[in-house]
């Protein structure tokens, strides 16, 4: 059983860019036999309603159409959904509020949205804000991606190896679908290999313990230390093992527990999330875990 079994929340605007997130969210809910919570955020402001009531009416009609289409899609996939349409000036804020109110354990969302001034960003602006502030882990899904089934690769930062919930989460997700598990530690120089090897062994031990706790044997779990640029080496390792799910951690701008600590998506995690052709889980430990991110 995965630590992300429930509550499971899908955030979608039901556009072509959301197709992968919807497919993965529905497949996860069906596999686990749970109702899928869905939030459909629609940009809306009081100013728009006052200045252009006809435009507001058209927006409402479009929201109703998307809602009906999502309900039909879920019915077709054999999944029960609990859909909440939220209106507000900032879609990312509506998604975050929904995740908090539902006490979501996992939020599934697309990677990028419509093209425009921000089209060349690796991760869309709205999604970036969700990733930086989400109260739970976030599964970021490219438009054409599907549910993983071959291999799960987790990238462990040897300079921040203390969080046991990161490899444990990756192990649980691999065990859930019978996939292999690969742990990668990347350092910039050969002189840092010894520290990376220690972090790697610790992560493998944590992963195996988590799998055993879920009644699964991940004896085939493998690990490697790579020398080079972090995101480049992680992506190369993912291609080599055929990974169809990547797992990375989120950081704090200050050390966890610091009075000014605030979550952020680190540069390496952002690059991996933006470049991957498969889903990427940005892992956020639950408050009960008491571990730093």
Query: Does the pLDDT at position 222 exceed 80?
Result: yes
Between 13 and 45, whose confidence is greater? 13
What backbone phi and psi angles, to 5 degrees, belong to 75?
A: -60, -40
pLDDT of residue 258: 44
Cα–Cα distance for residue pair 21/26, rounded to 1 Å: 8
Query: Does the pLDDT at position 266 exceed 90?
Result: no
Yes or no: say if 99 and 7 are a contact pair by the CB < 8 Å rule: no
Between 78 and 287, whose confidence is greater? 78
Residue 7, preceding bond cis, omega within 30 degrees? Answer: yes
pLDDT of residue 259: 46
CATH class of 8-141: alpha beta
Least confident of 82-96, 108-122, 147-161, 266-280: 108-122
Between 180 and 293, whose confidence is greater? 180
* pLDDT classification of 53: cutoffs 50, 70, 90: confident
Query: Does the pLDDT at position 176 exceed 80?
Result: yes
Looking at residues 136-158, what average pLDDT do you find? 93
- CA torsion sign, 22 to 28 to 32 to 36? negative
Query: Does the pLDDT at position 217 exceed 80?
Result: no
Fold of 151-289: Rossmann fold (3.40.50)
Looking at residues 132-150, what average pLDDT do you find? 94
In 3D space, the residue among 110, 132, 108 whose CA is nearest the CA of residue 269 turns out to be 132
**Mean of per-residue pLDDT scores for the chain:** 85
Domain with CATH 3.40.50.620 in the chain: 8-141, 151-289
Yes or no: say if 70 and 14 are a contact pair by the CB < 8 Å rule: yes
Environment class of residue 256 by beta-carbon count within 10 Å: exposed (0-12), middle (13-18) or buried (19+)? middle
Cα–Cα distance for residue pair 235/140, rounded to 1 Å: 16
pLDDT of residue 56: 76
Looking at residues 254-260, what average pLDDT do you find? 45
pLDDT of residue 245: 97
């Amino acid at each position: 059983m995965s630590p992300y079994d429930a509550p499971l929340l899908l955030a979608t605007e039901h556009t072509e860019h959301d197709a992968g997130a919807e497919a993965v969210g529905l497949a996860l809910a069906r596999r686990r036999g749970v109702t899928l919570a869905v939030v459909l955020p629609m940009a809306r402001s009081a100013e728009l309603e006052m200045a252009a009531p006809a435009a507001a009416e058209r927006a409402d009609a479009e929201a109703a159409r998307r809602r009906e289409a999502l309900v039909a899609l879920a019915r077709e996939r054999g999944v029960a959904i609990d859909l909440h349409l939220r209106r507000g000036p900032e879609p990312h804020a509506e998604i975050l509020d929904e995740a908090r109110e539902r006490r979501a354990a996992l939020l599934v969302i697309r990677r990028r949205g419509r093209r425009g001034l921000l089209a060349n960003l690796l991760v869309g602006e709205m999604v970036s804000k969700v990733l930086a502030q989400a109260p739970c882990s976030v599964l970021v899904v490219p438009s054409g991606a599907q549910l993983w089934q071959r291999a799960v690769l987790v990238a462990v930062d040897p300079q921040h190896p203390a969080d046991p919930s990161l490899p444990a989460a990756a192990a649980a997700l691999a065990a859930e679908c019978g996939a292999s598990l690969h742990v990668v530690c990347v350092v910039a120089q050969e002189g840092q290999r010894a520290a990376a090897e220690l972090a790697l062994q610790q992560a493998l031990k944590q992963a195996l313990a988590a799998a055993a706790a879920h009644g699964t044997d991940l004896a085939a779990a493998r690990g490697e230390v790579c020398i080079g640029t972090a995101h480049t080496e992680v992506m190369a390792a993912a291609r080599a093992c055929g990974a169809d799910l990547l797992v990375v951690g989120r950081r704090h701008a200050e050390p966890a527990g610091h009075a000014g600590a605030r979550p952020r998506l680190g540069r390496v995690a952002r690059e991996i999330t933006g470049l991957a052709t498969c889903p990427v889980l940005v892992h956020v430990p639950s408050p009960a875990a008491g571990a730093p991110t």
